[in-house]
Amino acid sequence: QVQLVESGGGLVQAGDSLKISCEVSGLTFRDYTMAWFRQAPGKEREFVAVFRHMGARTYYADDVKGRFTISRDNAKNMVYLQMDSLRPEDTAVYYCAAGRPILSAVRLSSIYNYWGQGTQVTVSS
């Protein structure tokens, strides 16, 4: 049984930093691309960042580039999202996802096979 469990969300102030984590079990972690998506109230789920298992390349949404960093630890089956210079508009439920998308599809939520339950990140102004 595949499980993705996010943790580390919380309430922070604008400009603060926060690191969220996702623990993965039930699959061969190193063979999967791992991504973070987020969904704010009343909005669609959107791509945040991805760490491809092939070539270990990372990609980011334009509005988080330079502020967020995705990383993974294949020995621990963990993926992380370090979020710096947080803004109120970063407030959302953050989800980790596992899949094997081709490069052109890494930003598409529909491609990912497995999802966590989400962790709430709230940034106050």
CA gap 56, 92 in Å, rounded? 26
pLDDT at 24: 98
Q: How far is CA 68 from CA 2, 36, 84, 111, 114, in A?
A: 26, 11, 6, 22, 22
14-28 burial by CB neighbour count: b if 16+ within 10 A, else e? eeeebebbbbbeebe
pLDDT at 61: 98
* pLDDT by position in tens, the chain (length 125): 999 999 999 999 999 999 999 999 999 999 999 999 999 999 999 999 999 988 789 999 999 999 999 999 999 999 999 999 999 999 999 999 999 988 889 999 999 999 999 999 999 99
CA gap 18, 70 in Å, rounded? 12
Cross-strand pairs, 68 = 83
